[in-house]
Amino acid sequence: MSARPFRFAEGTAVVTGAAGGMGEHVARRLAERGSDLVLVDRDGDGLGRVAAAIRDRHPGLTVGTETVDLGDAGAVDALAARILGSGPDIRLLVNNAGVALGGDFARLTLDEFDRVMDVNFRAPVRLTHALLPALTARPGAHVVNVSSLFGLIAPPGQSAYCASKFALRGFSEVLRAELATSGTTVTTVHPGGIRTGIAASAPGGVNIPAEEIEQGRRDFEKLLTYPADRAAEKIVEAISRRSPRLLIGASARVPDLLVRIAPVRGPRLLAGLLGAAGGVRRRLPGRATAGAR
């Protein structure tokens, strides 16, 4: 494993979910440190706005954009092929994009469940697999996988989101161990309640009543308090240090500690406290907790 700090200006960073929220702020911080960028999101307009702002501020950098639905496996493969075909020296991959789907497992459709797994887990796996030869071509590259508070605990109503984020956490830990001697390092990020606009724009599951979706959206807004720009600063600093793991906010650190101390009773207690704080237990919106990733 390489011990030297990550060198941002040595090549290109690929950032998914870059049209807003943490992804946008991570992209801006990487540009400040000299990274060329490939920014990925399904929101083409938002992506164009972010890219234009970065180009204006950092005219010497190369900033490319890719409007892609990461829930489409073929589109992810095509994205990787375009990135590799354009020939950048890829030194950093930030798998940040994510969606969630609230509601009791019994009321979710399997298509809805699979959509969350496709975006949150299978897309990072496919993109990492495709770009890994380029990343490991010489020592010093880095991979960031953004898991969640819900990759540490599993509250009711979050079966799809928790499954995807626990899976991403496990994948990251295995990848870190496998790459330990290659000079390519891995950071797993567990943010708590990050303040973004994702709850306000969250759709709901087809079997979840509209009033439950709206109430859950309002309740979860109250839990999203940590500024996205501060979260991005911590992520970029963790990249610089090649930290294996990053917990953002007390809402991630405290649950992590409690789960370690009391692995059986701790998660139950936390799930109850989380439900009481948000008033949501079974009223979780379609994507509100994606801001808590």
- The H or E element spanning position 187 is strand 185-191
Domain extents in the chain = 8-292
Measured CA to CA, the distance from residue 279 to residue 214 in angstroms comes to 12
Q: What is the pLDDT, as a whole number, of residue 227?
A: 85
Q: What is the pLDDT, as a whole number, of residue 264?
A: 73
Q: What is the pLDDT of residues 92-127, one digit of tens each?
A: 999 999 988 878 899 999 999 999 999 999 999 999
Q: What is the pLDDT, as a whole number, of residue 260?
A: 80
Supply the Cα-derived Rg of the chain in whole angstroms: 18
Q: What is the pLDDT, as a whole number, of residue 277?
A: 46
How much is the pTM? 0.88
Given a cut of 50, the residues of the chain with pLDDT beneath it are 1-2, 199, 201-202, 276-293
Q: What is the pLDDT, as a whole number, of residue 157?
A: 83
Give yes or no: 161 in active site: yes
If we measure between CA atoms, which residue out of 74, 163, 59 comes closest to residue 120?
163
Catalytic residue among 161, 166, 171, 226: 161
Residue 139's contacts (CB-CB under 8 Å, 6 or more residues apart) are 2, 182, 183, 184
Q: What is the pLDDT, as a whole number, of residue 73?
A: 98
For 23-166, strand residue ranges (E) read 36-41, 63-67, 90-95, 142-146
Q: What is the pLDDT of residues 157-176, one digit of tens each?
A: 889 999 999 999 999 999 99
Q: What is the pLDDT, as a whole number, of residue 183?
A: 94
8-292 is classed CATH 3.40.50.300: no
